[in-house]
Amino acid sequence: MSAADIAVLGAGMHPWGKWGRSFVEYGRAAARVALADAGLDWTDVQSIVGADTVRSGYPGYVAGATFARALGWQGARVTSVYAACASGAQAIGAARAQILAGLADVVLVVGADAAPKGFFAPAGGERPDDPDWLRFRVLGATNPAYFGLYARRRMAVHGDTPEDFAQVKVKNAAAGVLNPNARYRKAVTAEEVAASAVVADPLRLLDICATSDGGAALVLSSTDFARSRGVTDPVRIRAVSTVTPTYPRTVLDLPDIATDSTVGLGAGGEPAAGSFRASIARAAYEEAGLGPEDLSLAEVYDLSTALELEWYEDIGLCGPGEGAKLLREGVTALGGRVPVNTSGGLSSFGEAVPAQAIAQVCELTWQLRGTAGARQVPGARAGITANQGLFGHGSAVVAVR
């Protein structure tokens, strides 16, 4: 057990869907499930960290206090975190820091969202210094347009095919069928993917994740507190990586509409090797003292089917350009050597932005406990999550048992 480990005492979710209610309801419900799972009362919690949802008005900007109020004021310290798609993992990181600093023994982490219909767009207003606003105003580029460009790049550079992308959806849908919290619980065939509407060539509707409502929560504690409650072998979080990109970036990442130039490096500057996503995972592995060879499973941010293949390479499951080969060999499917997105992924859930990185850790928790039911990875001992959001936000969490 590492001195930097913290325990996961409870995990809970509100099922994903389009429910038409406030994000506060979803977060409160997920928190109560997580507390019940931990065998604790809300009054036992010494700190609450909320992952923010800036699209849900002022309560979303102060999500920590919003959830504390919804659960009932009881004096816990409060923190609110916004980091785009990495908000949930940064909330976990903030909770871990408080625990390791001795500021709290028990911390509740909550993220929830009530997403708008259709593709995500920037918040309203005129903001010419905001690259996210600019890409819509200058390029008219929705997120799926970017996903399509990335898919085309993989086809050109690595020889991936639309059929490869479709198989990612087939794989994730098969896992989603088995997950009671998933929004889409229906098996999908490659033929159905190919027959779905083109959204951003070469990607079709079933290649791209939806926007969803949902919530997720974790009860985290020090390992000493866990032992005091009789939990001698808890799932433990061993690393939380939230590193930023290294200059220069030679491949486009949202929301930027241009790559960096090496001209600005200055004397003695050296470009960094590898992609931003690879650096996120690499930092997590270094902190955890583990490597890709130690993984039992992974949860990655499959905004599109093509991006999942990229993640295989970025988390070190295979070399550059080998993601489709790994998929074809069945390595990343349930029953494979390293199943990826055993939850069903965003393909089966859709995006509920501040909740998703927390939901990824919920899935690792259930898998490492051996309580994931029909989608259980036998003998799971270590897993990693990975996601990437706007403005250089990304995260990876390593959990072990």
Comparing C-alpha atoms, which of 401, 369, 396 is closest to residue 385?
396
Domain 131-207+241-261+271-400 indexed as CATH 2.40.280.10? no
What is the model's pLDDT at position 132? Answer: 85
H/E segment holding residue 173? helix 162-176
pLDDT of residue 299: 98
Residue stretches of the chain with pLDDT short of 70: 1, 3, 261-274
pLDDT digits (tens, 9 = 90+) for 12-26: 999 999 999 999 999
Same CATH fold assignment for domains 6-117+213-236 and 131-207+241-261+271-400: yes
The total of other beta-carbon atoms located within 10 Å of residue 59's CB is 18
Q: What is the pLDDT of residue 257?
A: 76
Q: Three-class SS of residue 310?
A: helix
State how far the Cα of 203 lies from the Cα of 308, in Å rounded to an integer: 13
Alpha-carbon dihedral sign for residues 26, 400, 394, 253: negative
Question: Considering the domain 6-117+213-236 in this protein, what is its CATH number?
Answer: 3.40.47.10
The token pair at 253 is: 């990442």
**Which residue do the tokens 């089917």 mark?**
305
Locate the domains of the chain by residue range: 6-117+213-236, 131-207+241-261+271-400
**DSSP string over 273-286:** SS-HHHHHHHHHHH
Three-state secondary-structure class, residue 327: helix
- Site of tokens 């909320």: 50
The predicted structure's pLDDT at residue 266: 54
Pairing of β 203-204 and β 198-200: antiparallel
Q: What is the pLDDT of residue 263?
A: 60
Phi, psi for 342 (deg, rounded to 5): -65, -20
Strands 77-81 and 6-17: unpaired
